[in-house]
Amino acid sequence: MKKSEGLLFLLFLVSSSLFSQQYNDFFINKACRVDFHFCGNAQQTAVFMDNVKLEPFWGGRHTQLDHDLNLGDYRFRVLDSISNRQIYINGFSSLYREWQSTAEALTTSKSFEQSIQFPFPKKAVTLIIEKRLDLDHWTELYRYVISPTDKLIQRTQPLSVPVKVIAHTASPDKAIDIAVIAEGYTLKEQKKFYHDARRLAENLLTHEPFTKYKSRINIYAIAAPSDESGISLSTDSLWKNTAVMSHFYTFYEPRYLTTTNTFKVRDLAALVPYDAIYVLANTSTYGGGGIFNFYALTAAGSNLATQVTVHEFGHSFAGLADEYFYDKQDALDGMYDIKKEPWEPNITSLVQFDRKWKAQLPESIVIPTPDTNSTKTKIGVFEGGGYLTKGLYRPYFDCRMRTNKAPEFCPVCQQAVERMILFLTE
């Protein structure tokens, strides 16, 4: 070891002990879950508090607590209430934000359940919830002081639901912990659920960079029983009593499968330490949904399940945008304002392209990059993405975030996923 390397190594030791010291200074090894409601319409957003809970496991990161990857339509910050020092931060997105871009939000106000989780504090903290204005600016929506000794913090026992470990490779602070939740599986279908959860894990691990970091991925199967088998509004247009009441036709889009029962989803996820939630739906009808740091939800039995499960996890785990676009009208047409740079790592409006993959462009690539045989395997700036044919650009001709035919994530998406894996596990 050279002298300079030795010094670096020493610095690394000192800084990692500072990091772990920081965790232990401020937090215990349990989670604080905050349930609230996003309320409003196309123009307005308000936050209303529901409940604060102490949950048995914290599966998230133990280091780099006071910075994040600048992803999500929202973020929350936790400040030590005496020093006002920021001791935790995380970004997230919501179904509410998507609904705000639909026609219904122009004439109606609604409320949507939202939950966030951070390590349970040792002393009083101030929670601040903020909404993104652009790539670097935020506006405060809500502020709340949480005292860990507050009697009204719910300290209920976890639900009594069977859990099976599908993969366990590292301790939760060094691993991506994925909570896979059964939806639409009756008690009799428990074995089928474990089989489907295992298949989901295998699908995910065939995609880079998940394959490369296999030894840092833990997967738990939470066998929540449903009264009825199947999913609401699939092929038979019936409503069913299921564990988290998910359904197709979200925002009247036939294949958009989500649940608005976020609190139920979180109650089930609380049975394990988790970084990410995957709701696995017992149906063969094609569909799914995925929202950053919220959940991914897909049909386990569709013949495109391999592709869709990975695509939706790209959204929920790494904050990737859809790289597809339609000529026809889509419910989510109004999601992006092309006068601003979107925060998602795999699309650009070219407003702040230097913050995206500009440095990785091969020399002499044309912007916008034409769809030709020679550009198919190059990083470029292809027009069309984020549901829009014009004004938004994607980094590669095809990608797991664009079509089910693409074999894998494009290089820019792979880097974004890798960055998240490293952020959560190092």
Site of interaction with Zn ion (CB under 5 A): 346, 399, 401, 410, 413
HEC profile of 202-246: HHHHCCCCCCCCHHHEEEEEECCCCCCCCCECCCCCCCCCCCCCC
> Beta strand 125-132 with 45-55: parallel, antiparallel or unpaired?
unpaired
For the bound state, the minimum distance from the C-beta of residue 94 to Zn ion, rounded and expressed in Å, comes to: 23
Contact at 8 Å (CB) between 84 and 39? no
Buried b (16+ CB within 10 A) or exposed e, 95-120: bbbbbbbbeebeeeeeebbbbbbbbb
Per-residue DSSP letter, 248: S
For the bound state, the minimum distance from the C-beta of residue 366 to Zn ion, rounded and expressed in Å, comes to: 19
- Pairwise CA distance, residues 423 & 400, whole Å: 22
Residue nearer to Zn ion on the CB measure, 298 or 415: 415
- Pairwise CA distance, residues 175 & 179, whole Å: 12
Tokens of 68: 């994040």
Residue nearer to Zn ion on the CB measure, 47 or 296: 296
For the bound state, the minimum distance from the C-beta of residue 150 to Zn ion, rounded and expressed in Å, comes to: 44
Residue nearer to Zn ion on the CB measure, 264 or 400: 400
Residue nearer to Zn ion on the CB measure, 176 or 410: 410
Q: In the beta sheet, which residues pair with residue 51?
A: 35
Residue nearer to Zn ion on the CB measure, 176 or 401: 401
Residue nearer to Zn ion on the CB measure, 61 or 402: 402
Contact at 8 Å (CB) between 150 and 134? no
For the bound state, the minimum distance from the C-beta of residue 323 to Zn ion, rounded and expressed in Å, comes to: 5
Whats the size of the chain, residue-wise? 426
Residue 304 amino acid letter: L
Residue nearer to Zn ion on the CB measure, 34 or 413: 413
Q: Chain-centre distance of CA 339, in angstroms?
A: 25
Residue nearer to Zn ion on the CB measure, 388 or 410: 410
**Strand, coil or helix: 64:** coil
For the bound state, the minimum distance from the C-beta of residue 369 to Zn ion, rounded and expressed in Å, comes to: 14
Taking the alpha carbons at both ends of the chain, their separation in whole angstroms is 22
